[in-house]
Amino acid sequence: MKWLQQERLGLILCIGLAIPSHLLGQQFPLIGGPVIAILIGMLIGQFPFKRGPFTKGISYASKKILQYAVILLGFGLNLRIVLETGLQSLPIIICTITVALLVAYLCYRYLSINSTMATLIGVGSSICGGSAIAATAPIIKADDKEIAQAISVIFFFNVMAALLFPTLGVYLGLSPSSGEAFGLFAGTAVNDTSSVTATAATWDSMFNLGSETLDKAVTVKLTRTLAIIPITLLLAYIIASKTPTTSTTPSIRKVFPVFILYFIGASLLTTLALTMGIPTEVFSPLKTLSKFFIVIAMVAIGLNTDILKLIRSGVTPLFIGFLCWLSITITSLLLQYLLGIW
């Protein structure tokens, strides 16, 4: 009851704004519910109102609800199918992630941007957009402004990819008779699931391929999602090694992302259940709830974000996002060419 008294008003506000954001996201999938939620949250946050009674609930939504969303994301992963289909794409996935993270690190070293922002943009660009940012933010203790900036940057290049990549694929001569090459390209070079879907579906409709490209791209994208696990564990270790402690061994237990263990458990449970013949539709409500939880968290982040400060400091993150996006695109296409996939 005490918990309800402290957080209920803020949670009610976030959920109330999340519902229309989620519905609008379904109508405009290229933009997506999380981006709409951030924008609505930022707009509402500019109106003067007594924030005190809402503060704890908003903070709970931006942190705990975000972690619950990542846990539920695991129910969308059938590890057996992902690993089987993802073996072909694994070298490209590893290389694109490595290159993007390296670019983000170099930007941190030489472009005077803080390590938190560089990390969020790096993992968001290379792994799976908002989901990777949601998993990483609690570990590196990113504030709401930094999360909002990173999500905004990722959104911008998602839209650019969805609009430009089908035309680029035609120009480069990717096979129009199969969705294999373009599906692999979309699955490795576009980061957010909704934008991967939009990009791959466009190629299918252009060449009457049914859902061949879409199926390939989404499976590759799910394989990339698994990179959340090693990346978050590595970040936890790095943070622990930099945290002052009386012991000579880094205190990883203090920063260990326990919610990632639940994410792994959800993935294993899903895989086991599907292997036993339980239909995938059983997990659909949990996947939908995961998406809605992310929208709730993005509303909270928007409410805590100062638009003017975001605009004033937004040029450098956008440039870093561009460099990560460009490096991923070039790496994906170059490796496909060298491996003879197209």
Angle at 126 between CA 120 and CA 132, to 5 degrees: 50
Q: Nearest CA to 153 among 145, 142, 141?
A: 145
Q: What are the tens digits of pLDDT across the range 162-173?
A: 888 999 999 999
Instruction: Annotate 110-173 with DSSP letters as a single string.
Output: HS---HHHHHHHHHIIIIITHHHHHHHHHHHT--HHHHHHHHHHHHHHHHHHHHHHHHHHHHHT
Q: What are the tens digits of pLDDT across the range 271-295?
A: 899 888 888 888 888 888 988 998 8
Helix (H) / strand (E) containing 290: helix 284-303
The pLDDT-based confidence of 248 (bands split at 50, 70, 90) is very low
Contacts of 168 (CB under 8 A, 6+ apart): none
Residue range 88-105: average pLDDT?
91
Angstrom distance (rounded) from CA 157 to CA 154: 5
- State the sign of the Cα–Cα–Cα–Cα dihedral 241, 130, 197, 122: negative
pLDDT of residue 250: 46
| Cβ 95 vs Cβ 335: under 8 Å | yes
Phi/psi at 127 (nearest 5 deg)? -105, -75
pLDDT of residue 2: 59
Angstrom distance (rounded) from CA 101 to CA 200: 25
Angstrom distance (rounded) from CA 15 to CA 322: 33
Angstrom distance (rounded) from CA 42 to CA 185: 34
pLDDT of residue 3: 55
What percentage of the chain has pLDDT greater than the value 70?
89
Angstrom distance (rounded) from CA 16 to CA 12: 6
Model confidence at 314: pLDDT above 60: yes
What percentage of the chain has pLDDT greater than the value 90?
26
The pLDDT-based confidence of 256 (bands split at 50, 70, 90) is low
pLDDT of residue 50: 77
Q: What are the tens digits of pLDDT across the range 21-69?
A: 999 988 887 677 887 888 898 888 877 777 788 888 998 888 788 788 8
Q: What is the mean pLDDT of the chain?
A: 84
pLDDT of residue 232: 87
pLDDT of residue 288: 85
Q: How far is CA 244 from the centre of its chain?
A: 30
